[in-house]
Structure formats: C-alpha cells, structure tokens
C-alpha cells in the first residue's frame, strides 16, 4: 500500500492525525510563508497548504508514489494575518489586539498525489476574554506563544483566554479532522486504520 506523508513539523498536527487512526510519516516541507500583495487570508492559507504538500512530495524518498498532506493555519483580525510573534513585544501587541474581541482562524488542508491536488479551507471564530498586560507577559514567559500563529495555542495554556468558539476546535489547533478525513477519503485513505488493524 502507498504511504501517506504529513508535510508538517507541527507536533499538534501529528497528534491530531494519530487521533483518527491514520498511519503516516512526517516529512519536512519548508516554504516561504510571506503573504503576497493583495492576497486574501483564505487564499494565503490555501496556497501555503498546497505549497507544503508540493514541497513534501519533492522531499519524499525516490521511487515512492505516496500521498502528501499539507496544512496551514492563520489567525486573522480585521482582515490582517497575525503570524508567529517575532519577539516579546510583538506577542504582547498581538494578544492585546485580540483581547476582548472575536477573531477568525483559517486552516487549509491539501492532499496531493502524482496526478491531482485537492484542498479545503475551514474557518472558525474564536472569542477572547479581556487579557491584562501582566497575563500576556506571563504567558510569553511560559514559552508557548513563540511558535504559534496569533501568539497563542488553544490546546495549551492559551485556552484560559478563550471565552467562546464557533466552528472546528481541531481546525483552530491546526488540522480540521472532519474535513481532513473527508479529503483523505477522496484519495482512498481510510481513518481508524490503526484500530482496525488490531
């Protein structure tokens, strides 16, 4: 049987894919994540998910004809993409901007084989309670925000800021499981493989 490769260094995406019983191999897929001029946030995350899948395919072992799953997540506030914080000041600015407000989280997924690539974009709305500057500084000191889009992780310590969520929790973490399972199914890749094999 052909192999599935996850083109992501994210431990959270690995955990989510494992959660639904899909067998895969993680593979590096570094690409330029700079937004293009006049690119919408939705188009941005979809381009990056497809780009990571393509980069993952190029990194596959020679002769392997497997599938590649790429994904990307962006936090969007007032139409502006909030990436990973550059430093403490950047993290603080992001958290203060998100404080007491709703924002959008967009996650795109793409599955690629030798002939075709299919992708989906999943949008969720997250509402933050009011955050004090002292809390934001303490959160930065924890180390968690450093590699997170929007400077927070909903699955970790940052969960205390989340007052509400409309949409897909797993998409906010980094991989929308319902849509991922559906997309994998289009390529004949079943979920629950690890459980059915027992």
CA 67 centroid distance within chain: 18
* Residues whose CB is less than 8 angstroms from the CB of residue 34 and which lie 6 or more positions away in sequence, other chains included: none
Q: Does 78 participate in catalysis according to the annotation?
A: no
Contact 69, 38 (CB under 8 A): no
Other CB atoms within a 10 A radius of the CB of residue 61 amount to: 10
Among 37, 64, 65, 72, the one annotated catalytic: 72
CB-count exposure of residue 73 (10 Å: 0-12, 13-18, 19+): buried
CA 134 centroid distance within chain: 28
Among candidates 182, 196, 194, which has minimal Cα distance to 69? 182
State the Cα–Cα distance between residues 26 and 4, nearest whole angstrom: 9
Q: Which positions are annotated as active-site residues?
A: 72
């Amino acid at each position: 049987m052909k192999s599935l490769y996850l083109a992501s260094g994210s431990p959270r995406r690995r955990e989510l894919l494992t959660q639904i019983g899909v067998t895969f191999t993680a593979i590096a897929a570094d690409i330029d994540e700079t937004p293009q001029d006049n690119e919408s946030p939705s188009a941005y995350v979809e381009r990056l998910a497809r780009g990571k899948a393509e980069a993952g395919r190029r990194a596959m072992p020679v002769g392997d004809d497997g599938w590649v799953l790429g994904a990307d997540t962006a936090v969007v506030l007032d139409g502006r993409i909030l990436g990973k914080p550059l430093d403490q000041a950047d993290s603080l600015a992001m958290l203060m901007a998100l404080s007491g407000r709703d924002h959008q989280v967009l996650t795109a997924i793409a599955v690629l084989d030798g002939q075709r690539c299919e992708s989906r974009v999943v949008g969720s709305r997250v509402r933050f309670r009011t955050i004090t500057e002292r809390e934001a500084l303490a959160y930065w000191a924890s180390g968690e925000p450093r590699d997170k889009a929007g400077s927070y992780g909903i699955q970790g310590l940052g969960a205390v800021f989340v007052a509400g969520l409309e949409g897909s929790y797993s998409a906010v973490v980094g991989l929308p499981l319902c849509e991922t399972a559906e997309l994998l199914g289009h390529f004949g890749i079943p979920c629950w493989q690890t459980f059915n094999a027992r």
